[in-house]
């Protein structure tokens, strides 16, 4: 039995949770997809768990990650394994996934060693490991020291934006109580992108339109297209 307990779910605007889940799953899977089962949605520790449905073997080796917002923690050294998608918190991918294992979310026992690899679609994947060749055997590149530094830099950017606009809600926790309008949010994001060395990123709106009923901007990131997305949300 796992000692990992999920907090109670709360209602979100129609379709919001599904969009967030699809976005995270897309980051961690290849273009040739099979049906996946989302088992849970949890803030911070384990955002969602994807069933083992045969992630494809990759023929092109990506050497540097492009997605830093989330990390895939696999329960075995296999691209078809179950994966918990966790929030990148600046601790580094190994520490983040080790925390998931210690919570019991990926089973027992906790691996003595983990390997951080670059997935073909751009995110970082962390696997149980026995030696220095785990990523190589999976057909993946090892996470470089430069990429690890970039991951930390991205978390600083994200946290700076969240500090001014607010943390968006998850399926089991409320977001920030503040409400920043779309134009002010756009200006804040642009300021932080410039300040943190991401001047080549774009800022775009996505999803439902901003209205009187949904005036509050919530922020999401798409590292693959170097875009910060502003989503319309209700007042908390």
Can you read off the two tokens belonging to residue 165?
A: 């606009």
Q: Which of 92, 84, 221, 215 is nearest to 162 (CA)?
A: 221
- The C-alpha atoms of residue 108 and residue 94 are separated, in whole angstroms, by 17
Partnered with residue 114 across adjacent β-strands are 128
Tell me the torsion sign for CA atoms 9, 13, 18, 21: negative
Q: What is the pTM of this model?
A: 0.68
**How many CB atoms are closer than 10 A to CB 30?**
14
Q: What is the pLDDT of residues 212-227, one digit of tens each?
A: 999 999 999 988 889 9
Q: What is the pLDDT of residues 64-107, one digit of tens each?
A: 888 888 899 999 999 999 999 988 877 889 999 999 999 999 99
Q: Across residues 28-34, what is the average pLDDT?
A: 37
């Amino acid at each position: 039995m796992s000692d990992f307990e999920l907090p109670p779910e709360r209602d979100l605007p129609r379709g919001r949770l599904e969009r967030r889940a699809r976005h995270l799953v897309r980051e961690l899977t290849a273009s040739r997809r099979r049906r996946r089962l989302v088992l849970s949605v949890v803030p911070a520790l384990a955002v969602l768990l994807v069933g083992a449905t045969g992630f494809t073997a990759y023929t092109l080796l990506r050497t540097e990650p492009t997605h830093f917002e989330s990390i895939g923690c696999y329960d075995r050294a296999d691209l078809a394994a179950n994966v918990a998608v966790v929030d990148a918190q600046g601790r580094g991918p190994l520490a983040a996934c080790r925390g998931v294992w210690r919570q019991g979310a990926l089973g027992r026992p906790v691996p003595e060693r983990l390997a951080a690899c670059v997935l073909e679609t751009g995110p970082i994947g962390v696997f149980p490991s026995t030696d220095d060749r785990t990523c190589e055997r999976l057909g993946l590149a090892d996470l470089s020291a430069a990429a690890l530094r970039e991951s930390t830099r991205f978390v600083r950017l994200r946290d700076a934006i969240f500090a001014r606009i607010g943390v968006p809600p998850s399926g089991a926790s409320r977001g920030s109580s503040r409400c920043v309008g779309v134009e002010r949010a756009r200006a804040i994001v642009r300021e932080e992108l410039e300040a943190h060395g991401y001047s080549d990123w774009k800022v775009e709106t996505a999803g439902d339109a901003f209205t009187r009923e949904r005036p509050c901007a919530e922020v999401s990131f798409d590292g693959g297209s170097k875009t910060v997305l502003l989503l319309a949300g209700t007042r908390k």
